[in-house]
């Protein structure tokens, strides 16, 4: 049950951040500044909590093997990138810092989506996370297209 709640909170927090960023952001830089901590914090922060405190339940829910040192290490990476995105927001780092954080995190999500797709097709693991991950990753990547390209090609 807690894993489904964390999944719902990840999705809700991310979409709320996208809404707030596009509603309150007056420029690509401001959209990116608002969206980055919501996006990374919602996904990575809650994934860190899930991996560190509910690892066995999360693995079972997703149809993967149980708790391992690798799973804990992955949770620490999530925590590190979530904290970095929050620091970038609080410290008002420039837009290129947000582009860097978002680029690394989006690349991770794209590769993760490929892994979930592989698991779904090759291993016939049709758990919800494997089915929805590629769709949500495509939507999130599209949400960042405007602010990232607006910053980079200014």
pLDDT in tens, 127-140: 888 889 899 999 99
Burial group, residue 44, by CB count within 10 angstroms (0-12, 13-18, 19+): buried
Residue 115, pLDDT score: 92
User: Could you give the number of structural domains in the chain?
Assistant: 1
**Nearest residue to 9 via CA among 60, 43, 57, 34:** 43
pLDDT in tens, 37-85: 999 999 999 999 999 999 989 888 877 777 788 889 999 999 999 999 9
Which residues span the domain enclosing 70? Answer: 2-152
């Amino acid at each position: 049950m807690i894993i489904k709640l964390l999944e719902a909170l990840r999705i809700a927090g991310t979409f709320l951040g996208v809404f707030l960023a596009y509603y309150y952001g007056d420029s690509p830089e401001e959209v990116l500044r608002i969206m980055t901590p919501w996006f990374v914090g919602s996904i990575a922060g809650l994934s860190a909590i899930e991996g560190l405190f509910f690892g066995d339940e999360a693995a079972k829910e997703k149809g993967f093997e149980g708790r391992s040192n690798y799973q804990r290490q992955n949770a620490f990476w999530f925590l590190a990138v979530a904290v970095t995105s929050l620091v970038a927001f609080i410290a008002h780092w420039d837009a290129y810092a947000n582009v860097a954080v978002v680029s690394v995190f989006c690349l991770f999500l794209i590769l993760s989506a490929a892994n979930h797709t592989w698991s779904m097709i090759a291993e016939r693991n049709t758990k919800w996370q494997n089915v929805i991950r590629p769709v949500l990753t495509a939507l999130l990547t599209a949400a960042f297209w405007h602010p990232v390209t607006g910053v980079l090609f200014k």
